[in-house]
């Protein structure tokens, strides 16, 4: 399940969608702490294999998106 959720998060970001922390956690029965852990995994992957992309916060409500630098 962990791998599936990390890949789902990655796919959503790669597809240009903003990911809402609250909605993702509710939909997949995750704690916010687990969401942040998964987001760190995606960010680490991007730093290593797609250095021109970073995960950025869209607003204080916890929406994240993929940004090309």
Lowest mean pLDDT among 3-12, 23-32, 33-42, 53-62: 53-62
Cα 6 to chain center, whole Å? Answer: 8
What is the DSSP code (8-state) at residue 17? Answer: P
Domains of the chain, earliest start first: 2-68 (1.10.10)
Q: In the prediction, which pLDDT does 18 show?
A: 95
What is the enclosing helix (H) or strand (E) of 19?
strand 19-20
Cα 14 to chain center, whole Å? Answer: 9
pLDDT band at 61 (very low <50, low <70, confident <90, very high): confident
- Torsion angle defined by CA atoms of residues 58, 69, 3 and 16, in that order, rounded to the nearest 10 degrees: 60
Mean pLDDT of 46-57: 95
pLDDT value at 60 more than 90: no
């Amino acid at each position: 399940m962990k791998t599936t959720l990390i890949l789902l998060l990655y796919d959503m970001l790669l597809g240009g969608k903003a990911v809402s922390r609250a909605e993702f956690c509710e939909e997949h029965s995750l704690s916010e702490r687990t969401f942040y852990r998964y987001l760190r995994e995606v960010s680490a992957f991007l730093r290593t294999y797609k250095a021109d992309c970073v995960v950025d916060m869209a607003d204080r409500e916890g929406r994240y998106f993929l940004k090309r630098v």
